[in-house]
Amino acid sequence: MTDIRHLEIGPELRLAYRYRAGRGPAIVFLPGYMSDMDGGKAVALDQWAERTGRAMLRFDYAGCGASDGAFEAQTLATWRGDVLAMLDEVVAGPVVLVGSSMGGWLMLLAALARPERVAGLIGIAAAPDFTFWGFSQDQKMTILREGRLEEASPYGDTPVVTTRGFWESGEGLRLLHGPIAIDCPVRLLHGQADPDVPWQYSLELMKLIRSADVQTLFIKDGDHRLSREQDIARLIATVGGLLEAL
């Protein structure tokens, strides 16, 4: 495993990352909401990158994992800034972004901001615009009225917190209202048994992304995380196939 390094992006903020040198385009893994760079999919991809001599970057957004900052002080816009800082300061040359859930939203935003750098995208249950469709009207009113929403997590003991700042930032960065000006190859993986992100959103993404090279793979019994052994093997095959085609 590569050592943790830090990128200073402010006087009191350092982002933790692990970078593996190798052949490009470099793989850049973007975790989901309240996730970090040491999740199962990110680690499995890094191990594959080591075996195949591929360059790979994984990192923690501010307020997450080993990075500095308070989680509740972050927004979708600040995390987009973290992704762009990593692309600008840590990894050189073309990249393939692999985004899981919210990371799939961030990969799209990064590709729009750095089209000359992003050679391909791979979404795992990509969740653009989830601040719009992922909350009931009552939940949205709680966020606006109380400044935060706290819910039990189905994936662990730590509750899921959504702040008003994050929610408003997400609403300002929605993408599914019209064509998405991304021209690189895109691969979308989505479980049809996903209880969190309806698989139909990958169909919507496929329709809206401008690139002619967009492929979507649905896994009928796949859940949201797609972290089973067969799911990770499918992800690695998808990443490898796209890299070889570039």
State the catalytic residues.
101, 194, 224
Terminal alpha carbon distance of the chain = 27
Structure tokens at 217: 């793979």
Strands of 214-219's sheet, edge to edge?
5-10, 13-20, 54-59, 23-30, 95-100, 118-124, 186-191, 214-219
Residues facing 163 on adjacent strands: 148
